[in-house]
Structure formats: C-alpha cells, structure tokens
Amino acid sequence: GAGVSQSPRYKVAKRGQDVALRCDPISGHVSLFWYQQALGQGPEFLTYFQNEAQLDKSGLPSDRFFAERPEGSVSTLKIQRTQQEDSAVYLCASSLAGTNQPQHFGDGTRLSIL
C-alpha cells in the first residue's frame, strides 16, 4: 500500500490480557516510530527503530511494553498484562531515514482495556 498500515483498527481487551499491535511502514522507509495518543492530547513518543535496530525506547511506560522490528520492515508493539491506563490510540509512523524527515502516520489502533 501507499501509506502506513496498522492493524487491528480497534482492539478491546480485558485487564490482564496481552495484546499485539502491528505496523506496516511505507516500503523503503528506514525509520519507524511508535506513539501513544490520549484523547485530546498530542502523540507521545514511545520508541524508535532504524531498520531492525531499536535506537530509542525511552518512552515506553513500563517493562510491560515491548516493541520489535526483526526484519527491518513490519513492527509489532506488544503490551503484556494490560492495565486500564493503557487505553489509548497507538500510532505508528515511518520516515525515509532519521528524525529530521517528515514522519508519515498510520490511522492508529484504538485500544480499550475493560
């Protein structure tokens, strides 16, 4: 596809369950970013990959959050033992290379924890 694709679009899980969110970046984009967006707020940085290397994971809120990009393309954000405060929209973005290039965002996954 031409843009960044995220799945699922919506996810409802019970507190304590594990969830996995997928991101397909734009083909050829080296850099991939994950953000968390609460209602009425701007996106907040979670983690950043350059190819398969995770260069920055300083925004991950706890060790329950884990992200990977094993082949330098598709990425998965995993949240273990979900809590209600994890409810948010999770956005993925990709760029040609680095953080000084415009980032192209997917529509996000809206996660609701019951």
The DSSP-derived string for 99-112 is SSSPPEE---EEEE
Q: From the CA atom positions of the chain, what is the Rg in Å?
A: 13
Nearer to other proteins, 91 or 111 (CB): 91
Cα separation of 101 and 32, whole Å? 11
CB-nearer residue toward other proteins: 71 or 100: 100
Residue 58 within binding range of other proteins, rule CB under 8 A: yes
Taking residues 79 to 98 in sequence order and writing x for each that binds other proteins by CB under 8 A, - otherwise, the string is ------------x------x
Q: How many residues bind other proteins (CB under 8 A)?
A: 25
Question: Does the footprint of other proteins cover residue 108 (CB under 8 A)?
Answer: yes
- C-alpha separations of 111 from 37, 54, 85, 98 in Å: 10, 23, 10, 28
- Residue 100 in contact with other proteins, rule: CB under 8 A: yes
Smallest separation (angstroms) from other proteins to the CB of 39: 10
CA–CA distance, 36 with 19 (Å, rounded to integer): 15
